[in-house]
Structure 1
Amino acid sequence: MRRLGKTRRTVRTVRTARGRAWAAAVAAGVALAAPTAVPAQAQAHGDPHWALKDTGAPSVRFRGLSAVDRHTAWVSGTQGTVLRTTDGGATWRNVSPPGAAELQFRDIEAFDARRAVVLATGEGEASRVYRTDDGGATWTESFRNTDAKAFYDCLTFFDRRHGLAMSDPVDGTFRILSTRDGGRSWKVLPNTGMPAALDGEAGFAASGQCLVSSGPRDVWLATGGAARARVLHSSDRGLTWTATDTPVPAGDPARGVFALAFRDRTHGLAVGGDYRADQPSPRSAATTGDAGRTWRRAATPPPAYRSGVTWLPHSRTAALAVGPTGTDLTTDAGRTWRTLDTGSYDTVDCAPGLGCWAAGEQGRVARLEN
């Protein structure tokens, strides 16, 4: 047993060291040029870059993405579409729930290659949750919204059993759903611990990252559309919340914080802006080092609206943000960003096993490769 334990520790150490070296290579050398414009010498030298994968779904916009590892990823989007790959994107299997063609699956959370939970967004009964335990061969509808005033945007899981989903404000407060059985059943949490919503405040179902968690109990909710863009934080799995203003501009239904990412329970990133293509998005990113109690605007933010953000695995300072006009990299924990790619993506996600994926319009899915 001691020998086995030592072997496992050695394997973990090697994997962690490899992961840190990989993250350092991305942060230091980074050639994330558009896949159609990657120089041959860059690929020959192994510089990281986005490599597009043919999903066979050019009419679908993928806003839901869950990276399991370098080989396995799930995406979800319009036309009730859910796709899964287990071979690094070489092939994709359409595992869409039957009868869901009219739904928009804006968020998906996968536990592995077989188990996943997907959220459909929309008014009234268009907001639903499905779960699969067999790789999408069959699905079970575990929640259907019956309140015409609710509109669910995002979901997140603390572990394989405990998770939350959030709706835009109903009767003056954001509504939170909770599951304790991996998404097989859901209940609405009491709203007594939820601060009042601002006039016009809502979440954005743009990338599945308006509700994110880190660790066993901490969760954050991003907002926009009101006079101020806020981030709400709960340290007790959604029972009580505190709200903090961010420096990301709001004051319009199209502006606010669209996505969050936390590498631990204290260090987080927020990105957003104005999703209208003809409008500028100054101050489109912010950082926190105290679990969201305070936010500081990025000294050099992304140059345009960004809808998705993720930390690179095994890195304390490197992260990627994506949007319709490009991908940006930070190597100083969100203080400064620089554009590395001009391809259109709506969401991005990295798995601990070095699998980073991005997805967006026209069936676009890419994996970070070197």
Structure 2
Amino acid sequence: MKLSRVFISGILFCFLSFNSALKAQTIIILQQDKPTSIRGLSVVDDKTAWISGSKGYIAKTEDGGKTWNWQQIKGYEKSDFRDIEAFNDKEAVIMSAGSPSFILKTIDGGQTWQEKYKKTDTTYFLDAMDFADKLHGYILGDPIDNKFLLLETKDRGETWSEANNPPDALTGEAAFAASGTCLRVSDKGTIYIASGGKRARLISLKPNANSWQYSNLPITHGQSSEGAFSLSIGQNHGIIVGGDYAKDKKTDSAATIYTSHPTPSFISPQTGPAGFQSSVEHIKSDIFLSTGTPGSNISVDGGRTWKQIDGTSFNVCRKAKRGKLVLLAGNGGKIGILKL
């Protein structure tokens, strides 16, 4: 009898702790009502963060999101800057989707921007950017001639060239420029790509490897609006999210847990996020945050169960590279902050 009571008490304690952790999460709107759709977000530390969006808009905060310095980059008013990588409060790289495709860089806090790459060929469509370290970075683009476009820099974004060994793409397969997070480079240097469309796959390349690894994902796919939109690598495993942005309330197959030991495998959550999710971010330990047009969801058990914590539409969520600040951004210049 004593063992039973202890066992039951333990279960009850874990249940209450789990629900308490979920209830503690809230999202507060910091900015909105700006004429831009934000999909690029880079949080440097607990003070500095940059965002990029449509119509050539860029914004930066240096006080943890309390105030933002907005600008519309002259000469690029028609550009849709879908991703941004910031190194500090002075230096950042931005990339635009659509045609022409641009990569710009600033080293003076956004006062001036230098054009580092331009492509007027309409077959080029840039989706996402990530850096392995301060010098070495990648930009993913939609497939051309059955190969994903993969641009590479080895000098902190000053020059870009096409990678010698880009991954293969299947017919009807593409990447989504929804949040800049369908491409990730892990701390160990592994490149990860989440794809969608006719197929949903996890594509990866380990450091010093010659061949890419391809794995089918248990995420909704088959239509141009469906597939894997974002991935995030945690301490022990990763999370991949997506779904169908055309039917964003549909909850079927919108997330999966990724493990790579000893071989790649995927586990569907017991309770998934409440609809389509365009971005996912590892917060700490087993806590992951995801967001999309139907709202934001959180998991405190490594992605096995998800709980919707807010119904506001966002496109992207990111955590500070050095610190605890977690921000979200979306349409209408909307910026939010996650309070833990």
Relative to 1, partners in 2 of residues 1:221 and 1:27: Cα closer, same or farther, differing over 3 Å? farther
Q: Which residue of 2 aligns with 1:349?
A: 318
Q: Specify the SS of the correspondent of 2:243.
A: strand
The counterpart of 2:184, out of the listed 192, 195, 212, is 212
Q: Which residue of 1 aligns with 2:53?
A: 77
The counterpart of 1:336, out of the listed 277, 292, 305, is 305
Structure with greater strand share of residues? 2
Whether 2:20 is the aligned partner of 1:51: answer: no
Q: Which residue of 2 aligns with 1:161?
A: 135
Whether 2:326 is the aligned partner of 1:369: answer: no
The counterpart of 1:257, out of the listed 191, 209, 228, is 228
Find the aligned partners of 1:176 and 1:238 in 2 and give their Cα distance: 16
TM-score by structure 1 length? 0.82
Q: Specify the SS of the correspondent of 2:331.
A: coil
Quick check: 210-219 or 181-190, which moved more?
Answer: 210-219
Q: Which residue of 2 aligns with 1:232?
A: 203
TM-score by structure 2 length? 0.89
% identical equivalent positions? 34
Equivalent AA in structure 1 for residue 226 of structure 2: R
Whether 2:282 is the aligned partner of 1:311: answer: yes
CA contact (8 A) 2:22 2:307 kept: no
Following TM superposition, by how much is the alpha carbon of 1:62 offset from its aligned partner in structure 2, in angstroms?
Answer: 0.6
CA contact (8 A) 1:218 1:237 kept: no
Find the aligned partners of 1:290 and 1:27 in 2 and give their Cα distance: 29
Q: Deviations over 1:259-301 (max 9, x none)?
A: 010125x611100000014662411000112178222222211
Following TM superposition, by how much is the alpha carbon of 1:27 offset from its aligned partner in structure 2, in angstroms?
Answer: 8.2
Q: Which residue of 1 aligns with 2:171?
A: 199
Whether 2:63 is the aligned partner of 1:87: answer: yes
Please give the root-mean-square deviation of Cα atoms over the aligned residues, in Å.
Answer: 2.1
The counterpart of 2:239, out of the listed 269, 272, 279, is 269
Q: Which residue of 2 aligns with 1:29?
A: 21
Equivalent AA in structure 1 for residue 309 of structure 2: L
Following TM superposition, by how much is the alpha carbon of 1:335 offset from its aligned partner in structure 2, in angstroms?
Answer: 1.3
Q: Specify the SS of the correspondent of 1:29.
A: helix
CA contact (8 A) 1:190 1:239 kept: no
> Where does structure 1 lack aligned partners over 5 or more consecutive residues?
1-24, 32-46
Following TM superposition, by how much is the alpha carbon of 1:364 offset from its aligned partner in structure 2, in angstroms?
Answer: 0.7
Find the aligned partners of 1:237 and 1:117 in 2 and give their Cα distance: 26
> Where does structure 2 lack aligned partners over 5 or more consecutive residues?
1-16
CA contact (8 A) 1:84 1:95 kept: no
Find the aligned partners of 2:70 and 2:113 in 1 and give their Cα distance: 13
CA contact (8 A) 2:248 2:275 kept: no
Q: Deviations over 1:166-196 (max 9, x none)?
A: 11111111011000011110010124x623x
Q: Deviations over 1:318-346 (max 9, x none)?
A: 01000111110101111111111111111
Where do 4+ consecutive residues of structure 1 move more than 4 Å? 25-28
Q: Specify the SS of the correspondent of 1:295.
A: strand
Matches within 5 A, 1:125-144: 125=100, 127-144=101-118
Q: Which residue of 2 aligns with 1:5?
A: none
CA contact (8 A) 1:248 1:286 kept: yes
Following TM superposition, by how much is the alpha carbon of 1:58 offset from its aligned partner in structure 2, in angstroms?
Answer: 2.3
CA contact (8 A) 1:62 1:106 kept: yes
Q: Which residue of 1 aligns with 2:87?
A: 111
